[in-house]
Structure 1
Amino acid sequence: MRFLIFSIGLLLLSLTSVSAQEARRPSHCIAIADAAPGMQFVHKASWQEPLSEDEVRISYVSHASFLIQTPGGLNAVTDFTGFIGMVEMVPDVVTMNHAHGTHWTAEPDPRIPHVLPGWGDFGEGISHHLDLGEMLVRNVSTDIRSQWGGEEPQGNSIFVFEVAGLCIGHLGHLHHVPNDEQFAALGRLDVVMAPVDGGMTLPLADMVTVLKRLKSSVVIPMHWFSGMALERFLVDISDEFAVERAGVNFLEVGLRSLPGRPTVIVLEPAYLVE
């Protein structure tokens, strides 16, 4: 009798584990890191439109803030400043970095279930591994320059969103080329948002080096203060990456629609509207 109860318990545990795994299509980023048909733009009327089951929508909101939306209705905002537009939507999760005030807020909306700062106590960094079922959010800590000319070890984070089988990375306010350990922890990022200002973050030559090593299928430039900085970045990276100007502030992407050649997709930032 005890053996029968034990066996039933194991079966239920197994079924529960399978169910949990099916909630999120497994990504491949860590596996590829450990081992060392083209993009289509679907012009919908609004960020509020439903998504197909195998695609993710990424909307460029402002500066370094993006809205990442899943087919199941999860909403995540990167480098959250407290304002994403005149909308009623409350994100399920927001990430923040504190190199500058344009990347975080001290007073996030208390209704947001998950607020993830990219820093911890000075020099100690922080570790996030938030499993929301359909989406996993994790981070890799990086060092930053302090406002007074010093350095804060592990003071910011690169956040990675694993959803629909994709690995989507946001490089944050990156101040140095990641080391081998950090590259391995990131894994193979299918989509990456990269700061291309060339001064406040990494010099453009170093940023291009980072992106060529990551070999992401899609690179979305962000954190550009002028068209001049953006254009210079596009010239510097165009020897290995195709360049496409979407003419809109969002793209919808899935594993099957990733471009065959690494591609820079230029999105135009725009606050959300109902």
Structure 2
Amino acid sequence: MKIHWGFVSLLCALPVVAGIAGGWNIEIVTQTLQNISDESTPRPVSICQAVASKPQAIPVVPAAGDPLNKEQVRISFIGHSTYLIETPQGVTIATDYNGYAGDNEPPQVVTMNKAHSSHFTLQPDPAIENVLPGWNPNGGPVDHDLVIGDTYIRNVTTDIRSGFGGREPDANSIFIFEVAGLCIGHLGHLHHELEDRHIAQIGRLDVLMVPIDGGLTIGHEKMSDIVKRLRASVILPMHRRGGSIDAFLKLFGSDFAREFSTDSSMTVTLRDLPKQPTIIVLNGV
């Protein structure tokens, strides 16, 4: 398993949760920090930032389950802020992974954020090949740019709230997954409005996973402003915290469609994206 960004110092970086760590049940790969930050390694090219060429893919063995054609991406709601993304080549990705990714084989990739313990785990399954933290335990921003199979994964860092009304810079990551021509974004545990620089770094989004708790992240009104600004075709709510979803939905006018699915999964293709921005509430949200 590749543990990116030197998790060897994670316990020092997370004193609040150090008592529950109990040690990592993983083999620390000490060279990954050097490999990720190696300036001599060419960066993949983002199709979501209006650049035409596509990164070279690394073949992988397709995952078990219903096969997807080369245009299809399956997205399944697992719980809280965890979605499982399955790509045409069988790459499986669990977002804001807290140790549970459903009754499936361990995903090949997990992303994590540290604002709350329900968004990460200190003991990821050893079978997970790529663990991508949304923060740098050594301080400063974390920078993920990697291609796994047919998927390019990158991140845009934001701040999180810290004690006494302060901020911890670059401690949350918005992860962007570029696959099958689609740009899929996950806001993580977002604590503040996005600046112009964040919007530019994110680029085009076709699918957006957005927290709708209305307080633990940011309020419904500001979150709806972010959704409108990012202009994704498909909006997938997550991180619901009790109550009705109506408080979030009522902030969108008739220019946004709304769908409530009886299924916890959906298949997305670039050619079949809705012409009208659509908020789709998957079963379980």
Partner residue, 2:271: 256
The counterpart of 2:130, out of the listed 114, 125, 128, is 114
Question: 3-state SS of the aligned residue for 1:188?
Answer: coil
Q: 1:28: Cα distance to partner? A: 3.6
Does residue 85 of structure 2 align to residue 78 of structure 1? no
Q: TM-score, normalised by structure 2?
A: 0.77
Q: 1:85: Cα distance to partner? A: 2.7
Does residue 247 of structure 2 align to residue 232 of structure 1? yes
Q: CA RMSD in A?
A: 1.9
Give the whole-Å Cα distance in 2 for the aligned partners of 1:122 and 1:143: 15
Which amino acid in 1 is paired with 2:82?
A: S
Q: Which runs of 5+ in 1 are unaligned?
A: 1-23, 33-46
The counterpart of 2:157, out of the listed 125, 138, 141, is 141
Partner residue, 2:50: 31
Q: Which has the higher contact order (CA 8 A, sep 6+)?
A: 1
Partner residue, 2:20: none
For the pair shown, the structure with the greater C-alpha radius of gyration is 1
Partner residue, 2:239: 223
Q: TM-score, normalised by structure 1?
A: 0.80
Q: Percent identity?
A: 49
Does residue 261 of structure 2 align to residue 242 of structure 1? no
Instruction: Check whether the contact 2:101–2:107 (CA below 8 A) recurs between aligned residues.
Output: no
Q: 1:238: Cα distance to partner? A: 3.6
Change (3 A) 1:107 1:149: farther
How many residues in Structure 1 have an aligned counterpart in Structure 2? 230
Instruction: Check whether the contact 1:63–1:269 (CA below 8 A) recurs between aligned residues.
Output: no
Partner residue, 2:280: 265
Partner residue, 1:16: none
Matched ranges for 1:2-41 at <5 A: 28-31=47-50
User: Where in structure 1 do 4 or more consecutive aligned residues deviate above 3 Å?
Assistant: none
Q: Which runs of 5+ in 2 are unaligned?
A: 1-43, 52-63
Partner residue, 1:52: 69
Q: 1:146: Cα distance to partner? A: 2.1
Partner residue, 2:58: none
Instruction: Check whether the contact 1:57–1:250 (CA below 8 A) recurs between aligned residues.
Output: yes
Change (3 A) 1:214 1:207: same
Question: 3-state SS of the aligned residue for 1:255?
Answer: coil
Instruction: Check whether the contact 2:99–2:121 (CA below 8 A) recurs between aligned residues.
Output: yes
Q: 1:240: Cα distance to partner? A: 2.8
Question: 3-state SS of the aligned residue for 2:83?
Answer: strand
Higher share in helix: 1
